[in-house]
């Protein structure tokens, strides 16, 4: 294993010194158990992580214990509590699957270890040019403090047997919902996916001169969101349960789509519909839809808390997540179906071959179907949208 | 053992109960109270203020959440008590004691989360009942009727009744042994009162004081329940307890302050619930007297009585359907509207999630066995040392100590305890969770064991002493075998209490301890009902197996000791 790794490192153009450092990391990691904190609501992701653990165990002697969270914020809260309590080593969280707002919280409060991404040998196949999706997380510069592992893009799913496809623009949703009363809904905006639905609508509906990449002020928020609320007030009466209650998250809404209680859902994973169909979790007539103007997209990252008890092991897991064979396996619709973060042009022949042999499916969109990637608004927009929505519609 | 030794052991056991149970609960509450007024030094909050309360009050939908929680708790408790009385009024003397416990034990043993997950599938708009009705009513799609997660929390009330009714019935059965029901009935009927009226005027007023405390426990639990409310309760806003639990998990660490205020508000809510119940008691008493003085024989009540009894049977059937649906879901592959039965069956959910459920089941078992074993040991040491020092089994302060964790809303003091233990880092999460479960297992074990222990015929021990057996020999050879049945029952009760715990696992384990319950609750809002059903099925089956085992042990060991057999001690 060791000679192979050094050779691989050399082949990738990394300096021998770096390879030696990495060897030191591998040595330190052997025998460690990494507490990998992730949102635990998706069985395929859970199975993928379990399988990953077997692979790291076999290759590097690093086992993974997945801590399934109802909400990623739970792990952030835990690290924060540990820091406030002065527990600066031996922290309970080794690796977190993290997204924008939580990343911002951890970065701002000095809760992260790093920069470490450049130390990972497999990061060589990442497009790290400035402004690429791998370098910015919800407009927050990544700066090597978190490692990419999968591409997420907001898509709608609908049952083509029961309902017409969603309209090309969000403005058309009012009429669409009027035609299908009680069959359309979105997850509770207290949940990430529900908030993303509002953000997707906001990007399309906000006045032309709105800059969503900077943090909103009270005034700019009010101006930018006025058309959104007008639109939502018109839409809400036609939603499921008269827009008075909402599924807790998109998983719950997927289950409702499967049960026939609603006719559409949404996802941050373009392949999830095809995957769910194969798994018997959605009707075979479910298809994926992206608004004409494109949809919000981002990269999922993993980060290491500053006080992680098994830091070396966490790095080995982050590196293994970026290995071409792991990424190809991840993109395999029969495994997880998440789009890879690696840049095909930076892969070697073996890596490219791994991706070329992946199967296809009818409900699986091609990269072209997915349309343009709209950047995430500044993270401050999301909590504000959620809060404003709650003030307006929670009584 | 000398008398002094017994006094020493009794002192040690008493100190353990006070220091391990009452003090932490009180301290956790005190910590929550301090945090609600801005005092939480570990996060740098030391200035007393009302900010936490202001933050809490500013939460959207807070008052509705509080009102819904209170309403659901009061209504479910009232319904459970009324249905339980109706059940006994109709079936007492007609069904054998053992029949009751055989029907009710699976429900009593099934954890709340499993019941709720099963119920959701039965009563949801796309659920079993709707699927049965669909061809008759002509529903092409599931109707858009909020039968689950409705804003009034009626689905939650139903789920709570399913879980509480068996408990109240068994409590009533237990207390009925203290009252000559048969003679009262005979007297009442000879005066021309109907069966229902006899129960209402003669039995109920005598039984009520005996079951009041357990009913308050039921009420406190129902107002504060988190796992069930997350699964089947309203969502926008949820009940107060769910709101507070979510606030505790907020990434913003300062949210612990309004969360603590919410915990205190939850305590106030339970206080209001108690006051309402005791107020209702006074009202019913006065009204009852007025009606009683009219001398009406109320024979028509007998016919009406069958209605609540039928409802109770319906509730039991519903729960049975729910538990059955869990099992079927766990082995189904595709099961869509409007099919009454899965289109295809598969063991994939069991195989695919094998590591998940095996790990969770192992942890659940470990925590349940440890907490139950410790609880049994402490209870037996306390009761036996009480016998040896010549004091009764229970005293007022012990009653207070064991009812304290049951009458206080879990979330109110667990927020404080969770906050404190997070800082200390002294104990492993597993040890903390075992202890957290013990807080609730011990009281139930004690309640289950104290009465049969006290009721043991003292002549047995005296006879053994007269034959020359020392205290240890008498304990091991005479008392333990004679008390084996209630000890086994207490163990089964403790085990099922532990398996069902959600908040202590979550708050004290800091997310590191994954049990069947935390997993089932987390998965219940996921996209794969089959995997949730696997965990919920196991969660329901494990306690049931232990109950069966604990019935089987005395039945086997005492197969030729007729007087020592039977489900209950008296």
**pLDDT tens string A118-173:** 999 999 999 888 777 788 887 889 999 999 999 888 999 999 999 999 999 999 99
Q: Which two tokens stand for residue B209?
A: 């004081």
- Let me know the angle formed at the C-alpha of A296 by A294 and A302, rounded to the nearest 5 degrees: 145
Q: Tell me which CATH homologous superfamily contains domain A155-297+371-393.
A: Periplasmic binding protein-like II (3.40.190.10)
User: What is the domain class of A2-149+300-356 according to CATH?
Assistant: alpha beta
Q: What is the pLDDT of residue A196?
A: 94
* Residue of higher predicted confidence among B269 and B355: B269
- Reported as half-sphere exposure (CB side, CA atoms, 13 A), residue A251 has a value of 21
Indicate yes or no: CB of B251 within 8 angstroms of CB of A76: yes
| Domain spans in chain A, listed from the N-terminal domain onward | 2-149+300-356, 155-297+371-393
- Interface-testing mutation among A40, A47, A77, with chain B (most B C-beta atoms within 10 A): A77
Mean pLDDT of chain B: 89
Kindly state the percentage of chain A with pLDDT values over 90.
Answer: 59
pLDDT at A1 over 50: no
- What is the mean pLDDT of the segment spanning B99-128? 90
Residues B125-150, mean pLDDT to the nearest whole number: 93
* Cα A291 from chain centroid (whole Å): 19
pLDDT of amino acid A149: 93
- Starting at the edge strand found earlier in the chain, the sheet holding A286-289 runs A264-267, A155-159, A286-289
- pLDDT given at position A81: 82
CA distance B19 to chain A (A): 24
**pLDDT tens across B153-177, in order?**
999 999 999 999 999 998 898 888 8
Q: Which of A254, A267, A259, A234 is nearest to A338 (CA)?
A: A267
Q: Judge whether residue A6 has pLDDT over 60.
A: no
Distance from CA of A345 to the nearest CA of B (A): 35
DSSP structural state of residue B410 = H
Mean pLDDT along residues B135-153: 92
Q: Which of A47, A85, A182 sits opposite B422 (nearest CB)?
A: A85
Q: A355-369 burial, b if ≥16 CB within 10 A, otherwise e?
A: beebeeeebbbeeee
Q: Do B249 and A77 touch (CB under 8 A)?
A: yes
How far is B398 from B405, CA to CA, in rounded Å?
12
Tally the C-alpha atoms within 13 A of residue B70's C-alpha that lie toward its C-beta: 19
Nearest CA in chain B to A249: B525
B496 pLDDT above the threshold of 50: yes
* pLDDT > 70 fraction of chain A, expressed in percent and rounded: 94
State the Rg of chain B over Cα.
Answer: 25
Find residue A131's DSSP bridge partners. Answer: none
Q: Which of chain B's residues have a Cβ under 8 Å away from the Cβ of A266?
A: none
Residue B78: predicted pLDDT:
96
- Lookup result for tokens 């109920």: B204
Residues of chain B positioned with their CB less than 8 A from the CB of A250: 527
Q: What is the pLDDT confidence band of residue B569, given thresholds at 50, 70 and 90?
A: very low
Residue B502, SS3 per DSSP: coil
Q: In Å, what is the CA distance from B440 to each residue of A237, B256, B371?
A: 45, 24, 9
pLDDT in tens, A159-203: 999 999 999 999 999 999 999 999 999 999 988 899 999 999 999
Interface of A with B in 273-312 (CB under 8 A): 276, 279-281, 283
Contact yes or no for B499/B113 (Cβ under 8 A): no
Using a CB-CB cut-off of 8 Å, the residues of chain B touching A252 are 525-527
- The pLDDT, as a whole number, for residue B2 is 52
Q: Are B565 and B554 in contact (CB under 8 A)?
A: yes
Name the residue in chain A with its Cα closest to that of B529. A255
Q: How far apart are CA A6 and CA A56, in angstroms?
A: 17
Q: Are B282 and B212 in contact (CB under 8 A)?
A: no
> Nearest CA to B160 among B97, B241, B39, B99?
B241
User: Looking at residues A91-112, what average pLDDT do you find?
Assistant: 90
pTM: 0.84
Q: Rounded distance, CA B509 to CA B525, Å?
A: 21
Question: What is the reported pLDDT for A269?
Answer: 85
User: A34-49: per-residue pLDDT in tens?
Assistant: 999 998 877 788 999 9
DSSP 3-state assignment of B50?
A: coil
Comparing alpha-carbon positions, the chain B residue that sits nearest to A258 is B336
Confidence of residue A10 (pLDDT cuts 50, 70, 90): very low
Tell me the shortest Cα–Cα distance from B159 to chain A, in angstroms.
19
Average pLDDT over residues B332-348: 93
What pLDDT score does B424 carry?
65
- What are the residues whose beta carbons fall under 8 Å from the beta carbon of B209, sequence distance 6 or more? none
Within an 8 Å CB–CB cutoff, is residue B141 touching chain A? Answer: yes
- pLDDT of the residue at A87: 85
User: Which of B41-50, B130-139, B375-384 bottoms out in mean pLDDT, i.e. has the lowest?
Assistant: B41-50
The alpha carbon of residue B64 is apart from the nearest alpha carbon of chain A, in Å, by 7
Is A280 in contact with B251 (Cβ distance < 8 A)?
A: no
Burial of B129 (0-12, 13-18, 19+ CB in 10 A): middle
Return the structure tokens found at B426: 């002294």
Say yes or no: B426 contacts chain A, CB-CB below 8 A: no
Question: DSSP string covering A66-125, please?
Answer: EEEESSTHHHHHHHHHHHHTT--SSBS-SEEEE-HHHHHHHHHTT-B--S-GGGSGGGGG
Asked if the ipTM is above 0.90, the reply is no
Q: What is the C-alpha to C-alpha distance for residues B539 and B517, in angstroms, rounded to an integer? A: 7
Burial of B555 (C-beta count, 10 Å sphere; 0-12/13-18/19+)? middle
Q: What is the number of CB-based contacts under 8 A between chain A and chain B? A: 155
Residues 345-364 of B with CB under 8 A from A: 346, 352-353, 355-356
How far apart, in whole angstroms, are the C-alpha atoms of residue B193 and residue B200? Answer: 10
Looking at CA atoms only, how far is residue B335 from chain A in angstroms?
8
What is the percent of chain B where pLDDT is above 70?
A: 97
Whether A39 and chain B come into contact, CB under 8 Å, resolves to no
Contacts of B246 in chain A (CB under 8 A): 190
Q: Decide if A2-149+300-356 and A155-297+371-393 have a common fold.
A: yes
B227 pLDDT more than 50: yes
Arithmetic mean of pLDDT, A2-11? 45
pLDDT of A263 over the 50 cut:
yes
Strand partners, A66: A36
Question: Which one of A162, A177, A191, A259 would you mutate to disrupt binding with B, by most B Cβ within 10 Å of its Cβ?
Answer: A259
DSSP string covering B456-469, please? S-HHHHHHHHHTT-
In this model, does residue B567 exceed pLDDT 70? no
Distance from CA of B426 to the nearest CA of A (A): 11
Chain B segment 249-278 residues within 8 A of A by beta carbon are 249-253
């Amino acid at each position: 294993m060791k000679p192979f790794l050094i050779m691989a490192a050399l082949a990738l153009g990394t300096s021998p010194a770096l390879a030696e450092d990495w060897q030191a990391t591998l040595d330190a990691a052997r025998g460690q158990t990494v507490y990998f904190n992730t949102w635990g609501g998706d069985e395929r992701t859970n199975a993928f992580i379990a399988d990953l653990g077997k692979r790291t165990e076999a290759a590097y002697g690093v086992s993974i214990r997945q801590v399934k969270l109802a909400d990623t914020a739970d792990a952030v809260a835990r690290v924060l509590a540990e820091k406030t309590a002065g527990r600066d080593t031996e922290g309970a969280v080794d690796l977190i699957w993290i997204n924008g707002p939580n990343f911002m919280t951890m970065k701002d409060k000095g809760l992260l270890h790093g920069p470490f991404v450049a130390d990972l040998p497999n990061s060589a196949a990442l497009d790290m040019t400035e402004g690429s999706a791998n370098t910015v997380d919800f407009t927050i510069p990544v700066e090597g403090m978190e490692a990419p592992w999968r591409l997420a893009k907001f898509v709608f799913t609908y049952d083509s047997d029961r309902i017409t496809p969603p309209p090309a623009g969000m403005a058309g949703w009012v009429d669409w919902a009027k035609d299908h009363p009680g069959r359309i809904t979105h997850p509770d905006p207290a949940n990430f996916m529900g908030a993303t639905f509002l953000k997707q609508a906001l990007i399309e509906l906000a006045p032309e001169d709105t800059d969503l990449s900077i943090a909103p002020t009270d005034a700019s928020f009010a101006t930018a969101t006025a058309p959104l609320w007008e639109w939502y007030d018109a839409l809400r009466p036609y939603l499921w349960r008269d827009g008075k209650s909402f599924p807790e998250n998109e998983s719950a809404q997927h289950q409702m789509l499967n049960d026939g209680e609603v006719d559409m859902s949404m996802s941050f994973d373009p392949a999830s519909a095809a995957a769910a169909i194969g798994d018997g979790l959605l009707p075979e007539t479910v298809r994926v839809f992206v608004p004409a103007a494109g949809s919000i997209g981002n990269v999922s990252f993993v980060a290491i808390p500053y006080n992680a008890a098994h830091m070396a092991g966490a790095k080995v897991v982050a590196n293994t997540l970026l290995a071409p064979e792991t990424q190809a396996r991840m993109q395999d619709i029969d495994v997880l179906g998440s789009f890879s973060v690696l840049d095909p042009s930076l892969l070697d022949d073996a890596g490219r071959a791994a991706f070329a042999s992946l199967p296809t499916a009818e409900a699986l969109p091609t990269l072209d179907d997915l349309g343009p990637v709209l950047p995430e608004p500044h993270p401050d927009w999301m909590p504000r949208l959620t809060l404003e929505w709650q003030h307006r519609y929670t009584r | 053992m000398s008398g002094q030794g017994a006094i020493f052991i009794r002192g040690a056991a008493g100190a353990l109960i006070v220091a391990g149970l009452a003090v932490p609960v009180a301290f956790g509450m005190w910590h929550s109270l301090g945090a609600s007024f801005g005092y939480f030094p570990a996060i740098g909050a030391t200035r007393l203020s009302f900010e936490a309360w202001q933050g809490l009050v500013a939460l959207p939908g807070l008052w509705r959440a509080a009102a819904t929680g209170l309403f659901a708790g009061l209504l479910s408790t009232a319904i459970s008590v009324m249905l339980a009385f109706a059940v006994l009024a109709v079936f007492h003397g007609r069904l054998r004691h053992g029949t009751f416990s055989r029907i009710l034990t699976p429900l009593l043993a099934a954890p709340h989360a499993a019941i709720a997950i099963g119920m959701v599938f039965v009563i949801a708009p796309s659920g079993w009942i709707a699927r049965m009705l669909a061809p008759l009513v002509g529903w092409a799609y599931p109707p858009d009727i909020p039968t689950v997660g409705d804003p009034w929390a009626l689905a939650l009330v139903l789920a709570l009744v399913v879980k509480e009714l068996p408990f109240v019935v068994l409590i009533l059965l237990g207390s009925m042994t203290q009252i000559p029901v048969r003679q009262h009935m005979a007297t009442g009927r000879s005066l021309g009162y109907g069966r229902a009226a006899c129960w209402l005027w003669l039995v109920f007023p005598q039984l009520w004081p005996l079951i009041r405390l357990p009913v308050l426990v039921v009420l406190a639990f129902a107002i504060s329940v988190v796992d069930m409310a997350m699964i089947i309760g309203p969502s926008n806003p949820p009940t107060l307890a769910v709101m507070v639990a979510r606030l505790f998990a907020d990434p913003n660490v300062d949210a612990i302050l309004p969360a603590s205020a919410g915990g205190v508000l939850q305590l106030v809510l339970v206080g209001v619930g108690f006051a309402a119940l005791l107020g209702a008691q006074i009202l019913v008493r006065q009204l009852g007297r007025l009606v009683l003085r009219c001398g009406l024989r109320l024979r028509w009540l007998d016919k009406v009585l069958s209605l609540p009894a039928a409802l109770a049977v319906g509730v039991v059937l519903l729960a049975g359907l729910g538990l059955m649906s869990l099992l079927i879901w766990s082995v189904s592959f595709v099961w869509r509207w409007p099919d009454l039965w899965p289109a295809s069956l598969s063991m994939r959910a069991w195989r695919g999630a094998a590591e998940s459920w095996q790990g969770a089941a192992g942890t659940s078992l470990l925590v349940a066995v440890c907490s139950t074993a410790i609880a049994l040991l402490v209870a037996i040491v306390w009761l036996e040392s009480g016998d040896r020092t010549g004091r009764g089994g229970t005293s007022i302060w012990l009653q207070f100590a064991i009812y304290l964790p049951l009458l206080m809303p879990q979330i109110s003091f667990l927020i404080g305890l969770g906050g404190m233990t997070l800082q200390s880092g002294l104990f492993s999460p597993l040890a903390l969770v075992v202890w957290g479960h013990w807080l609730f297992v011990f009281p139930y074990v004690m309640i289950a064991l104290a009465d049969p222990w006290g009721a043991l015929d003292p002549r047995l021990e005296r006879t053994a002493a007269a034959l020359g057996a020392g205290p240890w020999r008498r304990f091991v050879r005479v008392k333990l075998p004679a008390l084996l049945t209630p000890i086994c029952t207490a163990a089964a009760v403790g085990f099922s209490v532990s398996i069902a715990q959600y908040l202590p696992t979550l708050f004290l384990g800091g997310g590191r301890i994954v049990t069947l319950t935390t997993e089932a609750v987390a998965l219940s809002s996921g996209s794969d009902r089959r995997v949730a059903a696997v965990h919920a099925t196991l969660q329901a089956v494990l306690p049931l197996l232990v109950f069966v085992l604990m019935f089987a042990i005395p039945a086997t060991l005492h197969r030729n000791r007729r007087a020592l057999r039977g489900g209950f001690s008296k």
